[in-house]
Amino acid sequence: MADNPQQAGGGDAWDATQWHVVQKGDTLSKIAQHYYGDASLYPKIFEANRDVLKDPNLIRIGQKLRIP
Partner 1 sequence: MMMTDRWRGSLICLGVALVLSVPILAGCASDKGPAEAAIKTAEEAVRATVAEAGKYVPDQTQSLQAALAAIKEKFAKGEYTAALNDAKSLTDKTKEVASAASAKKAELTKTWEGLSAGMPKVLDAIKGRVDILSKSKKLPANLTAEKFASAKSGLDEMTQQWTAATESANSGNLMDATTKGTAVKTRAAEVLTTLGMPVPDALKS
Residues that bind partner 1 (CB under 8 A): 6-8, 12-18, 33-38, 40-41, 44, 68
Shortest distance (Å) from residue 28 CB to partner 1: 13
Report the alpha-carbon distance of residue 23 to residue 1 in Å, rounded. Answer: 9
Backbone angles phi, psi at 65, to 5 degrees: -110, 140
Shortest distance (Å) from residue 8 CB to partner 1: 5
Handedness of CA 29, 35, 36, 38 (dihedral sign): positive
Shortest distance (Å) from residue 27 CB to partner 1: 16
